[in-house]
Structure 1
C-alpha cells in the first residue's frame, strides 16, 4: 500500500526546468534540480534525444549547473556553475567531456548569450564598488529609497554589467556601466546590435522598474521603452525588423496585467500584441517547488507573424500565440503549470516544462500544429512517487457577492474513509496578485496526507480572471477578498459532508499571512492558525519593507503620511484583542520583504494579552524560505505547521471546548 507524502520527501523530489532545443532540432538540454541533504541544492544538465526520448546526464557533482545555452553550430553548450565558488560561465562540448571555465569574476557571472557567429558571448557580471577590503566594520551611507532587497540584503553599490566574452580565450570587454543593473541581453540577427534591460535609477519609486535599451556594438545606446513600467525578455525577429518584449506599465501597480509588445525598429511604432487579451501575459501560478527557474523569452513563429508566450488564466499557465495584428490564441490545452518552454518554429514543435498537482515538474513534447502529438519526455520522480499516494484536487466554483465566479479547489486525504469527518485547512496564497492552480504543491500534499481537507481559492485580487478582478482588492484589503474566502469556506461546508465544521484551521504566507491575521481578528470560526512571513502593521511596513514605500500606496491606497488612519485600519495588529484562535507565527530573520518586526509586534501584542501564541524565527531565512530556503529549515517549517494544527485540535477535543460560531461574521 502506498504511503502519504512526508515533509522529508522534499529531499528526494526532483524538478525539471529550462529546456533549450538544439539548433538542428534533434536534442534538448535541460536542468534537473534536487536537494542534497548534506550539501543543500544541486542542479545538473541533461540532454534528451527527441528521436529516442532517452535522456543522458551531462554534468555531475555537488554544485548548481544552470542556464544551459547551445552555441549556434550546436557543438558547445554554455552554462552557469558555482563549482568553483561564485557562479561563473562554463562551456562544455555537446558530445561530452570536461567543462571549461570561461569567467572568473569576483562578483560572479550569469546569463550567457551566444553571438550569432558563435565567437563571443554576452554575460552579466556583477561589478563591485571599490571599497576598503579589510575585515573591519564599516558604516553604510544610505541616501536612496532603494537601499535593500529581499534575498540580497543591503545594497552596497554592486551592479550587474554586460560583458562581451570571447568564447575560446575568455577575453572580456565591458559594454555597460553606471549605477544600474543590466540584464536579459539579446543579439540582433546579424550581430551588430544588442538589446537588453536596464534598471531605473535607485531613487525611482518602484524597485523593479526597468527600461528596454538597444546598443550598437561600440556605439551609442537608445531607450526603446516609454519609461513607465518594467520591461524584460527582449527577442529579435529573424529579419531584425522587430524587437518583441514583455512588460507592464504599473497602471494598477502590481495588479497590472503583463503584456507582450513588439516595436517596429525603423519607425519606432510599438504594438501591444495582447491589447485585446484580458489576461496576464506571464506565469502567475505559485507553488513551493518552482522558485528560481528562468522565465522563458517569447519565441517568434516561423514566418515572423507573431510570437509564442506564457499566459496565466483559470488556474493554469499555458503556451499562447499572439499575432502582430493583436489576435491571441491558446496553444497548449493541458490543465497544468507550464513554466518553461523552447520552440523550434522551423520544425513546428515545442518542448515545455510543466507541473500538475501530481507531477512536480517534467518535460513534454508538442507539435505546434497538431496538439494530439503531445508526448511526455521525462518522469524524473517515478521512483519516489511510486511509493506515495498523492491527492488529486477537486475544482469547484461559486458566485461571489459581486456576481463573479471564484475558482477554488478541495484536496482530500489520499484515502478518505466513508462516514468520517475531517478537519479543514484554509490555505491562502501570497501576492495577493498571484494564482493558485494546477501545479504541484508539496505543502498542500503534506497536509492532505496528514489527514486534513485542504481548501484553496483565488479570491478577488488574484491573477487569471481579467484586469478588473485582479485589481479588485486594491484599497480594500480585508473587505471583498475576505468575503470571497469565507464564501469559499461556506460553499465547501454546504457541499461536502466529510468536513467537520468544528475543526477549521487557517494558514497563509505573505499576503496570505496578512489575511490569516485579519481572519482571526474578524471571526472565531477557526480553532487554530499559522501565519507565515506576514504583514501585521502597515504603518511600520511602509518604512521597513524593501517595497513598502510604494507597495503600501498601491495596495492600501495611501502613503503613511497621507492617511495614517486608513493605513492603520487595514493593519491586523489593531485587531489583536479580538484574536482568539491559537496562533503560530513563522518568520525568517532576514526577510526584507515582510521584515521580522512584523512578527515581533504581533507576538508581543498577543503574548501581553495572555493569548495562546508561539513565535518561531528561522535564522538566515528570507521571504522565500518555503521555496528556496535552507532545506532543513524548509522541512522544519512544514513540521511546525502540521504539529501546531494537530496539537491545537487535540487540545480542543480533550477540553470539550465550546462550539465556535459557524458564520462569516465580519466585525469591522
Structure 2
C-alpha cells in the first residue's frame, strides 16, 4: 500500500436492517482526493449478499435507520451549508427530503416505537456565534467568559456556547407534496399579510419553569427549529444550560430518556447519568401549535452515587432499560483502566434498579457506540477482548459472547425475527458486512476488493512475548515481502487504554509496503486484557509499559530472522507519542524516532488539554515531582536520537504547545530535530484528516525513515 491508496479505504456505518430481515442498508464512506474530503452514499444489500446497489447520490449520506415498520428510511445528509440534517425517504426506495434545519447540524436521531416521532440531538449555538448571524465572523464574535475547566473539546472547539439539546418532531408522510417556494404575486401577498400581523404569536413560546434552574426558551433562542419552507417544527425538550445526548423513547412512547450531567459537581467530575422527560405536552403542541408548551424538569433515572458514569440507554424488547457504564471511583474521575460494562436499569422507573450484568475482567464495551435491542430479550453490545471485538448478547440472565476470531466488529443490527448483521474489519478488509447465524459469520459484501486489487495486503503474524515477571505481551508482526533482514519500526498505539487489534490498519500496510517490518503490541496499560493489565501503569507511566514494548521488540527480533535488530526506529501518536519520546530519553538503541501528537510536558498539559484537568492527575498522580519523574520533557535532556515531531495546529487533546516545547528544547540542546505542523487539523489527523493531509503525512514519514533507516536492495 502507498500513501496515494488511502482513497481506497472504505469505512461502513452501523448497518440498518429492514424489519422483515430481508435487506440491509449501510453508509459507505471513503477519502476522496477530488474534493479533499470524505464522500459517502447509502447502499442497499440483500441479507444473502445479492443485489447490492447504491441508492443515494449525495456526497455525505450516513447513519441510516429504518422506521419500526420499515416504511421510512431516515439518515443524515448534508444541507447546502454542509451541515448534517435528518433526511427521510420511502423505505422501499425513492427520493429523499430534509426534515430538520439545525443551524450546526444533527449528530444523532432515533424513531419512536410507533414511528410517528423522531428525537434528534443538535448543538444550539448562542446568538451571533458560529456564523448564525450574517456579517459576524468567528474573529468578530463576543469574548467568551470561562468559569469551568470543561469548556473545549478536540474536534468541536468551544462547547460552553453550543450546548447539545434534544428535539422532537412529527415525521411527515414520505409521499406528501413537496414544498414550493412562494414567488411573484403569491410572495407579495404573503409579505403584505406578514407586515399586517402585529408582534409574534406568544402561544408558540416554549417555556421552562425558572424553579428548575433553566431559562426561558423561545424560537429566537432555538427552542423551536423548522416550521417553515417545508421543514416540520421541532421542539426542544431538554434544558438549555447543559448538554443532553443519546435520545431513547420509552416502549410506550410517553417518555424520552437521555444522558446528561445535571448534578451539582458536574464541572469537576466525569459522572454522567440517565434522565427522562414526559412527552405528552410535546406531542399535543406539535399536533396543535396553539397549545402552550411547558417543558417538564428532567427526572433522574440512575442511582449510582456518582461512582459510575452511565449513558447510551436503550430499551430491550423485554421492557428492560439497559445502559453502558464505566466506574469512576469515589473521586468521580478515576477512569484509569476501567472497562465499560452493561447495566440494567430495570423498567426505567427512577431509582428502580442499577445492576451490572457483565464481567468487567472478561469484557470491555468501550467500543460500543450504541446498544441494539435483540430479538426478544436483552441487547447486543460489542466487547473488545485480546485484540478482537465480538458481539455479546446481554440480558438480565447474563452475557453470551459470539467470538469474532480475527475480526473487529464495529456495528450491529438485529430484527425481532432473529436476523443479525454486523459491520467488521479484519486483516484483509477495512470494512465489510457479515450475517451472523448460529455463531457463524458469513461475509455478504466485498468493499475491500478495490484495495486488495490495487495493493498487496501484508498479513499480520500473531506473536506473544513474555516479560521477566511472566506477563504476556500480545501483539503482531508485519513482515514485508523479500528475504530481509528488514529495518524494524516499533509502532506504539495511543490511549494508553486502547489496543492494537486484528482490524485492517493503513499505518503498518504503508510502512511494510515501503519495506519496513512493523511491530504492534499491547503493553500493560492497554485495553482488552483484563482489569490488572489496564490499571498496571496508574502512577507509573513509562515503567512496565516501556519495558513491555522493549521486551516485545527484543523477542520479536530474536524470533523472526527477517527482522534486522541493528536498524530500529520507534514511533507513535498521542500516548504512543508520549511513550516514544520517553523511550528515546532513556534508551539509545533507536536510529531515529517519530513523535506524533504526543502528551510530552505534564505541567502545561493539565491546563491546555481538553482532558488535562483530570487525565494526568489520575494516571501520574497530582504530585508535581511524581509527574516530573514520568515526563518525557524532563527526560529529553538525554535524548540524542534524531526526532521528527508531527502535530496539528488545532489539536486540543494534546495541544500544539506540547510539540513546540519539546521541539524547542531538543533544538536548543543540539539534538537533531524537525517538526511538521498541519494547519486546520486536530488530534484525529491520521484517522480523519483531509485526504491530502493524510497523504502528505505518510509521505513525510516515509521520507524521514528513508533518510535514517533506508531500505536497501539487499532487503528485498
Normalising by structure 1, we get a TM-score of: 0.90
Structure 1 residue 223: Cα displacement: 1.3
Structure 2 CA distance for partners of 1:545 and 1:423, relative to 1, 3 Å: same
Per the alignment, residue 422 of structure 1 pairs with 486
Structure 1 residue 639: Cα displacement: 1.1
Selected match of 2:299 from 214, 219, 222: 222
**Cα distance in structure 2, aligned partners of 1:651 and 1:630:** 29
Structure 2 CA distance for partners of 1:650 and 1:384, relative to 1, 3 Å: closer
**Cα distance in structure 1, aligned partners of 2:308 and 2:597:** 27
CA displacement 1:391-431 (0-9 Å, x = unmatched): 11111112223322110110011x232xx311000000000
Structure 2 CA distance for partners of 1:206 and 1:503, relative to 1, 3 Å: farther
**Cα distance in structure 1, aligned partners of 2:145 and 2:264:** 14
**Cα distance in structure 1, aligned partners of 2:580 and 2:673:** 14
- 1:382 equivalenced with 2:468 (yes/no): no
Structure 1 residue 282: Cα displacement: 3.0
Structure 1 residue 519: Cα displacement: 0.5
Is the CA contact 1:206–1:547 (under 8 Å) kept in the aligned structure 2? no
1:336-485 to 2 correspondences below 5 Å? 336-344=407-415, 346-367=416-437, 370-372=438-440, 374-413=441-480, 415-417=481-483, 420-485=484-549
Structure 2 CA distance for partners of 1:84 and 1:228, relative to 1, 3 Å: farther
Structure 2 CA distance for partners of 1:399 and 1:652, relative to 1, 3 Å: same
Structure 1 residue 303: Cα displacement: 3.6
**Cα distance in structure 1, aligned partners of 2:711 and 2:89:** 59
Give the match's secondary structure for 1:512.
helix
Selected match of 1:642 from 702, 710, 713: 702
Per the alignment, residue 318 of structure 1 pairs with 390
- 1:31 equivalenced with 2:97 (yes/no): no
Per the alignment, residue 371 of structure 2 pairs with 298
**Cα distance in structure 2, aligned partners of 1:234 and 1:620:** 35
Per the alignment, residue 572 of structure 1 pairs with 632
Structure 1 residue 77: Cα displacement: 0.8
Matched positions, count? 623
- 1:594 equivalenced with 2:663 (yes/no): no
1:241-256 to 2 correspondences below 5 Å? 242-251=320-329, 252-256=334-338
CA displacement 1:133-185 (0-9 Å, x = unmatched): 43435322111111211111123421111111111161222111232211111
Is the CA contact 1:317–1:338 (under 8 Å) kept in the aligned structure 2? yes
1:138-149 to 2 correspondences below 5 Å? 138-149=142-153
1:20-419 to 2 correspondences below 5 Å? 20-39=16-35, 40-51=37-48, 53-61=50-58, 63-85=59-81, 86-131=83-128, 133=133, 134-135=136-137, 136-168=140-172, 170-200=232-262, 204=266, 209-217=271-279, 218=281, 219-225=296-302, 226=304, 227-240=306-319, 242-251=320-329, 252-265=334-347, 268-275=352-359, 277-283=361-367, 295-304=368-377, 306-325=378-397, 327-344=398-415, 346-367=416-437, 370-372=438-440, 374-413=441-480, 415-417=481-483
Per the alignment, residue 189 of structure 2 pairs with none
Which structure's CA Rg is the greater one? 2
**Cα distance in structure 1, aligned partners of 2:650 and 2:269:** 18
**Cα distance in structure 2, aligned partners of 1:216 and 1:310:** 31
- 1:607 equivalenced with 2:667 (yes/no): yes
Give the match's secondary structure for 2:115.
coil
**Cα distance in structure 2, aligned partners of 1:397 and 1:636:** 34
Structure 1 residue 215: Cα displacement: 2.1
**Cα distance in structure 2, aligned partners of 1:546 and 1:575:** 24
**Cα distance in structure 2, aligned partners of 1:281 and 1:13:** 25
Per the alignment, residue 664 of structure 1 pairs with none
- 1:520 equivalenced with 2:584 (yes/no): yes
**Cα distance in structure 2, aligned partners of 1:234 and 1:357:** 32
Structure 2 CA distance for partners of 1:88 and 1:303, relative to 1, 3 Å: closer
**Cα distance in structure 1, aligned partners of 2:657 and 2:297:** 46
Structure 1 residue 615: Cα displacement: 0.7
Structure 1 residue 208: Cα displacement: 5.7
**Cα distance in structure 1, aligned partners of 2:375 and 2:710:** 62
**Cα distance in structure 2, aligned partners of 1:164 and 1:137:** 30
- 1:493 equivalenced with 2:563 (yes/no): no
Structure 2 CA distance for partners of 1:197 and 1:337, relative to 1, 3 Å: same
Structure 2 CA distance for partners of 1:9 and 1:366, relative to 1, 3 Å: same
CA displacement 1:306-338 (0-9 Å, x = unmatched): 33211011110001123413x332214332110
Give the match's secondary structure for 2:409.
strand
Give the match's secondary structure for 1:18.
coil
**Cα distance in structure 2, aligned partners of 1:651 and 1:579:** 25
Structure 1 residue 73: Cα displacement: 1.9
**Cα distance in structure 1, aligned partners of 2:587 and 2:435:** 48
**Cα distance in structure 1, aligned partners of 2:629 and 2:592:** 24
Is the CA contact 2:23–2:45 (under 8 Å) kept in the aligned structure 1? yes
Give the match's secondary structure for 1:264.
coil
**Cα distance in structure 2, aligned partners of 1:11 and 1:202:** 47
Normalising by structure 2, we get a TM-score of: 0.84
CA displacement 1:343-368 (0-9 Å, x = unmatched): 22x3323100000122110000011x
Is the CA contact 2:383–2:390 (under 8 Å) kept in the aligned structure 1? yes
Give the match's secondary structure for 2:613.
helix
Selected match of 2:573 from 509, 514, 519: 509
CA displacement 1:365-405 (0-9 Å, x = unmatched): 011xx224x32111013133123211111111122233221
User: Considering only aligned residues, what root-mean-square deviation do their CA atoms show, in Å?
Assistant: 2.1
CA displacement 1:215-258 (0-9 Å, x = unmatched): 22145532122243432221113253x21011112234142110
1:515-594 to 2 correspondences below 5 Å? 515-558=579-622, 563-594=623-654
